[in-house]
Amino acid sequence: MSFLFKPKPKSPQLIVQSVRDSLYRIDGPDWKKATDEVTKTLQILREMLKEGDGTHLATQVAQEIHKADLLQLLILKLPSLEFETKKDVVSIFGLLLRSQLGHRHPTVDYLSENRTRCSPYFTGTFDNPEIALNCGTILKDCVKYPPLTKVLLDSPEFYKFFKYIQSDTFDISSNAFSTFKDILTRQKELSSTFLVKEYDKFFEHFYQLLMSANYVTKRQSLKLLSEILMSRTNFEVMTRFIGCPENLKTIMNLLHDPSKSVQIEAYHVFKVFVANPHKPPAIAEILRKNQEKLVAYLNNLSDGRNDEMKFNEEKTYLLRIIHQLT
């Protein structure tokens, strides 16, 4: 008969309120008790969202989380949480973002409608190496949805990524770059609009990455630049970039970087300048003046990977174009 006296499960509203109250106490004198309470109640929330996926329960949980502004508070207090609890927060974010009500994603709508309150919480978290990985994972989940990609691109906080990418702390720099790349490549139409609008400011910052003393940052940035230029949606950006003599000079200097990996990635950007059938006179002149050196350089350049045959065919095509410059 003991089942008759089994306590009734707490409602989503009470669970969310309990999490919120405990989070506000987590940095106080009873932090140990508050930490335990947060851990337990977040596990309950996660299970509610998991088991109730697509049901009224999941919708109720999401609504209560939104009403209590719990997402911002969770990010704010993330550094104070235990390792496994941080992972629960990441899981809850992912479950909420994926949760649907008909054709809508309520949490995506909530975050995009509260953009001024939300975006600083996300990008600012890369300052702390203890939560950089967690926040990078959350942001990567966010950029799967166009409205949230737009929020990030529209925010002045976006330019903080350039600082984080050049951090001396590996966890911060690697996670920041990975997230930065996702923002610029997952939603191509949105990123193209952003790059056209912000061209001067963006590439002024991006130039710093190309000149980085860290060879990994330099190599990854060149690889990302190549991906941006080769995307069909970025035709306007590509045309402007490869029409600038200073950009060509920068890339040609990087062809002689001490790192072989950097040289190869610089080559993949350089070939876009050479292959352009409508080279501006200033670009053609630079290539013409350096014709002999470029021919010698390309003849000695080796990719050293499995697709060496394709690489050599491509080089032959570029060499033919350079030879024809008169």
CA distance 58 to 49: 5
pLDDT at 1: 47
Q: Binning pLDDT at 50, 70 and 90, where does residue 262 land?
A: very high
**CATH topology for the 187-325 domain:** Leucine-rich Repeat Variant (1.25.10)
pLDDT at 197: 98
pLDDT in tens, 106-140: 999 999 988 766 665 566 678 888 898 998 899 99
Lowest average pLDDT, out of 5-19, 185-199, 205-219, goes to: 5-19
Pull the structure tokens for residue 218.
Answer: 């330099």
Mean pLDDT of the chain: 91
Instruction: Name the more confident of 114 and 234.
Output: 234
pLDDT at 115: 76
pLDDT at 171: 86
Q: Give the start-to-end residue ranges of the domains of the chain.
A: 10-101, 114-186, 187-325
Please give the average per-residue pLDDT across 15-43, as a whole number: 94
Q: Binning pLDDT at 50, 70 and 90, where does residue 5 land?
A: very low
Q: Is the pLDDT score of 8 beyond 60?
A: no
Exposure string of 22-48, with b = 16+ CB inside 10 Å and e = fewer, is bbeebeeeeeeebbebbeebbebbbeb
pLDDT in tens, 78-94: 999 999 999 999 999 99
Instruction: Name the more confident of 235 and 302.
Output: 235
Query: 3-state SS of the chain?
Result: CHHHHCCCCCCHHHHHHHHHHHHHHCCCCCHHHHHHHHHHHHHHHHHHHHHCCCCHHHHHHHHHHHHCCHHHHHHHHHHHCCHHHHHHHHHHHHHHHHCCECCECHHHHHHHHCHHHHHHHHHHHHHCCCCHHHHHHHHHHHCCCHHHHHHHHHCHHHHHHHHHHCCCCHHHHHHHHHHHHHHHHCCHHHHHHHHHHCHHHHHHHHHHHHCCCCHHHHHHHHHHHHHHHHCHHHHHHHHHHCCCHHHHHHHHHHCCCCCHHHHHHHHHHHHHHHHCCCCCHHHHHHHHHCHHHHHHHHHHCCCCCCCHHHHHHHHHHHHHHHHCCC
Instruction: Name the more confident of 101 and 85.
Output: 85
- 56-70, 177-191, 297-311: range with highest mean pLDDT: 177-191
pLDDT at 121: 59
